[in-house]
Amino acid sequence: MALNELTIHAARTGLQAKQFSSTELVKACLARIKQTESKINALITVCEPSALREAKKADQNGYQPSVASRQPLAGIPLVIKDIFSTKGIKTTAGAKLLANYVPVYDATVVTRLKHAGAIILAKANLDAWAHGSSGENSEFGPTKNPWDLSRVPGGSSSGSAASVAADQCLAAMGTDTGGSVRLPASFCGVVGLKPTYGRVSRYGAIALASSLDSMGHLTKDVTDAALILQITAGPDGRDATMPDQPVPDYQKNLSPPLKNLTIGSLLPAKMAPPLKKIYQQALTVLAKQGAKMISVKLPHLDFAIAAYYLIMSSEVSANLARFDGTRFGADRQKFGAEAKRRIMLGTYALSAGYYDAYYRQALKVRTLIAQDFAQTFTKVDLIATPVSPELPFKLGEKTADPLKMYLSDLLTVPANLAGLPALSIPSGYVKQLPVGIQFLGPLFSEAKILQTAYHYEQQAPWQKKRPRL
Give me the residues paired with residue 173 across strands. 80, 217
Count of structural domains within the chain = 1
Q: Which of 107, 33, 112, 45 is nearest to 73 (CA)?
A: 112
Q: Which of 415, 125, 384, 309 is nearest to 134 (CA)?
A: 125
CB 153 within 8 A of CB 187: yes
393 is a domain residue: no
Task: Say how far apart CA 346 and CA 367 lie, in whole Å.
Answer: 19
380 is a domain residue: no
305 is a domain residue: no
Q: How far is CA 49 from the centre of its chain?
A: 27
417 is a domain residue: no
**Residues contacting 311, CB < 8 A, separation 6+:** 209, 211, 212, 359, 362, 363, 366, 417
Q: Which of 156, 186, 214, 317 is catalytic?
A: 156
How many Å is the maximal CA-CA distance in the chain?
Answer: 67
90 is a domain residue: yes
Residue 68: its pLDDT value, please? Answer: 83
Query: Would the pTM count as exceeding 0.95?
Result: yes
The CATH number linked to 77 is: 3.90.1300.10
222 is a domain residue: yes
Residue 252: its pLDDT value, please? Answer: 95
Residue 418: its pLDDT value, please? Answer: 98
Residue 408: its pLDDT value, please? Answer: 82
Examine the residue annotation and report whether 156 is marked as an active-site residue of this protein.
yes
CB 166 within 8 A of CB 36: yes
Residue-number span of the structural domain to which 86 is assigned: 3-258+422-464
7 is a domain residue: yes
Cis peptide before 150 (omega within 30 of 0): no
Examine the residue annotation and report whether 38 is marked as an active-site residue of this protein.
no
CB 98 within 8 A of CB 336: no
Q: Which of 145, 165, 158 is nearest to 94 (CA)?
A: 158
Task: Say how far apart CA 192 and CA 197 lie, in whole Å.
Answer: 15
DSSP conformational letter for 233: B
**Residues contacting 322, CB < 8 A, separation 6+:** none
Q: Which of 134, 157, 180, 186 is catalytic?
A: 180
Q: Which of 450, 105, 97 is nearest to 251 (CA)?
A: 450
CB 231 within 8 A of CB 73: yes
CB 349 within 8 A of CB 355: yes
| 241 C-beta neighbours (distance < 10 Å), count | 14
CB 173 within 8 A of CB 205: no
Residue 177: its pLDDT value, please? Answer: 98
Examine the residue annotation and report whether 81 is marked as an active-site residue of this protein.
yes
Give me the residues paired with residue 200 across strands. 233
pLDDT tens digits for range 314-348:
999 999 998 888 877 677 888 999 999 999 999 99
The 3 state secondary structure assigned to 185-226 is HHHHCCEEEECCCCCECCCCECCCCCCCCEEEEEECCHHHHH
Residue 463: its pLDDT value, please? Answer: 65
The string of DSSP letters for 125-178 reads --SGGG--SSSTT-TT----BTTBTTB---SSSHHHHHHHHTTSSSEEEEEESS
Q: Which of 21, 22, 27, 81 is catalytic?
A: 81
Termini Cα distance of the chain: 16
Residue 401: its pLDDT value, please? Answer: 82
CB 178 within 8 A of CB 416: yes
Residues in the chain: 469
pLDDT per residue, tens digit, the chain (469 aa), is: 899 999 999 999 999 999 999 999 999 999 999 999 999 999 999 999 999 999 999 999 999 988 888 999 999 999 999 999 999 999 999 999 999 999 999 999 999 999 999 999 999 999 999 999 999 999 999 999 999 999 999 999 999 999 999 999 999 999 999 999 999 999 999 999 999 999 999 999 999 999 999 999 999 999 999 999 999 999 999 999 999 999 999 999 999 988 899 999 999 888 889 999 999 999 999 999 899 999 999 999 999 999 999 999 999 999 999 888 887 767 788 899 999 999 999 999 999 888 999 999 999 999 999 999 999 999 999 999 999 999 999 999 998 887 788 888 999 999 999 999 999 999 999 999 999 999 999 999 999 999 999 999 999 877 678 899 9
CB 417 within 8 A of CB 308: yes
388 is a domain residue: no
CB 129 within 8 A of CB 213: no
Residue 207: its pLDDT value, please? Answer: 97
The string of DSSP letters for 340-377 reads HHHHHHHHHHHSTTTIIIIIHHHHHHHHHHHHHHHHHT
